[in-house]
Amino acid sequence: MASKEDDSPAPAISPHQRKINKAIEFCREREWHILESALKHCWTNNFLGVFRQFFKDHAAHFRGMKRKDPLTGEWSLDTGTHSHQQHEDFEEYLKLYESQLADYIENHPDGPGATVTEFYRELKAAQECDFADEGTQMFIDCLVASADYDSFYSVMVREADMLPDDESESKFDDRRPDIAEAKSESKADYDDDNPKGGRGGGSYK
173: in domain:
no
Domain of residue 123 covers 15-162
Instruction: Give the pTM.
Output: 0.65
State how many domains the chain has: 1
196: in domain:
no
Q: What is the largest CA-CA distance in the chain?
A: 71
CB 156 within 8 A of CB 62: yes
Residue 21 has φ and ψ, to the nearest 5°, of -60, -40
74: in domain:
yes
10: in domain:
no
The CATH number linked to 149 is 1.20.1520
The H-or-E segment that residue 81 falls in is strand 81-82
pLDDT in tens, the chain (205 residues): 455 555 666 567 788 788 888 888 888 998 999 999 998 998 888 898 999 999 999 999 988 877 666 677 676 666 667 889 999 999 999 999 999 999 999 999 999 999 999 999 998 888 887 766 777 887 888 887 788 888 888 888 888 888 886 444 443 444 344 443 444 444 344 343 333 333 333 443 4
Sign of CA dihedral 102, 106, 107, 111: positive
Write down the pLDDT at residue 6.
56
Write down the pLDDT at residue 4.
52
Characterize the bridge pairing of strands 66-68 and 75-77.
Answer: antiparallel
63: in domain:
yes
141: in domain:
yes
CA distances from 147 to 53, 143, 144, 183, 200 (A): 18, 7, 6, 8, 17
Write down the pLDDT at residue 189.
41
124: in domain:
yes
58: in domain:
yes
CA-nearest of 58, 43, 81 to 158 is 58
